[in-house]
């Protein structure tokens, strides 16, 4: 069941990515996100009269948010190899970065096919789970011990929020390729959080996970 869904999602992604290489986002009628953008999130389903799956407002909002969040985390992860020699931290940062890069490619391809504006609606905006410019500067100048502590803090905040909103996309999204990507984000994010917890046990109060 899961493999079927995943493979059909992959096909959908491939189709969308190749399709929109020719027709820019503007060439697509804005039906999916106009007027009913925010309306029945979760009930829209793969609507339309043809087989082409439709994006609902939740799909587009989640893709935009996920792209913006990943773009904020990657610079922090990319600092790690130069700032610490600890192999466990380097491995975790590399794994999470690789997953995020792959997710970003999929998410950008889906967004391009959705007809949504290509601009980042969260540019410069500090949303929950985003690494801020100040935090990034702090990471650049931190001692190794402080780096591990700050990295754990930011990574935990990011992954927790990413899993939370991806789970909501799974429930309320409509486009199968987008909900499949959200499922992958939940799965990979949960696994990364578990690895992080082993490397840096969470504070007792928050350790109920």
Partner 1 sequence: MERAVPRAGIRRRLRLATAIGALLTLLGMYAVSTTARADAAPGTNAIRVAEFPADCGFSHRLPDDPIIFPGLPGASHMHSFFGSTVTNAHTTLPDLLNSTTTCNPGVDTSSYWVPTLYRNNVPVEPAIVTFYYLGEGVRSDVVARTEPLPQGLRIVAGNALATGPENSIARWSCLHAGHVPPSKNFVNCPAGTMLESYLDFPQCWNGRDLDSPDHKSHMAYPVNQACPASHPVPVPKLRQVLRYPVNGDPSQFRLASGPGYTMHGDFFNAWPVAEMARRVNDCIRPVIKCGHDGRPL
Q: How far is the CB of 31 from partner 1 (least distance, A)?
A: 10
Q: How far apart are CA 73 and CA 154, in angstroms?
A: 8
**Residue 122 makes contact with partner 1 by CB under 8 A:** yes
**Residue 209 makes contact with partner 1 by CB under 8 A:** no
Query: For residues 37-60, b (16+ Cβ closer than 10 Å) or e, as one string?
Result: beeebeebeeeeeeeebbbbbbbb
Query: Which tokens hold the place of 131?
Result: 């690494």
Stretch that binds partner 1, among 10-18, 79-87, 100-108, 110-118 (CB under 8 A): 110-118
The one-character DSSP state at 54 is P
Q: How far is the CB of 89 from partner 1 (least distance, A)?
A: 28
Stretch that binds partner 1, among 87-95, 97-105, 150-158, 166-174 (CB under 8 A): 166-174
Stretch that binds partner 1, among 89-97, 98-106, 116-124, 146-154 (CB under 8 A): 116-124
Please name the helix (run of DSSP H) or strand (run of DSSP E) that holds residue 48, with its range, or none: none
State which residue, 12 or 44, has the beta carbon closest to partner 1.
Answer: 44
Residues 21-80 that bind partner 1 (CB under 8 A): 30, 33-42, 56-58, 60-62, 65
State which residue, 56 or 99, has the beta carbon closest to partner 1.
Answer: 56
Q: How far apart are CA 137 and CA 114, in angstroms?
A: 35
Query: Which tokens hold the place of 43?
Result: 């009930």
**Residue 181 makes contact with partner 1 by CB under 8 A:** no
Q: Give which of 48, 85, 98, 72 is closest to 161, Cα–Cα.
A: 72
Q: Give which of 106, 23, 101, 97 is closest to 59, Cα–Cα.
A: 106
User: Which residues in this chain contact partner 1 in the complex, by CB under 8 A?
Assistant: 30, 33-42, 56-58, 60-62, 65, 115-117, 119, 121-128, 161, 164-165, 168-169, 171-173
């Amino acid at each position: 069941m899961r493999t079927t869904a995943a493979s059909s999602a992959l096909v959908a992604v491939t189709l969308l990515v190749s399709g929109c290489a020719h027709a820019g986002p503007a060439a697509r009628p804005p039906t999916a996100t106009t007027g009913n953008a925010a309306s029945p999130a979760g009930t829209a389903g793969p609507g339309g009269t043809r087989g082409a799956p439709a994006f609902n407002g939740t799909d587009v909002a989640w893709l935009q948010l996920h792209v913006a969040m990943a773009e904020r985390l990657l610079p922090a992860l990319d600092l790690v190899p130069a700032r610490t020699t600890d192999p466990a931290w380097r491995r975790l940062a590399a794994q999470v970065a690789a997953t995020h890069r792959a997710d970003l490619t999929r998410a950008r391809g889906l967004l391009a096919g959705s007809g949504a504006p290509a601009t980042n609606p969260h540019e410069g905006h500090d949303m929950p789970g985003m690494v801020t410019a100040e935090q990034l500067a702090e990471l650049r100048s931190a001692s190794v011990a402080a780096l591990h502590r700050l990295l754990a803090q930011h990574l935990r905040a990011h992954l927790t929020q990413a899993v939370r909103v991806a789970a909501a996309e799974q429930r309320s999204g409509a486009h199968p390729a987008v909900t499949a990507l959200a499922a992958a984000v939940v799965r990979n994010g949960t696994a990364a959080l578990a690895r992080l917890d082993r490397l840096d046990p969470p504070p007792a109060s928050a350790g109920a996970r």
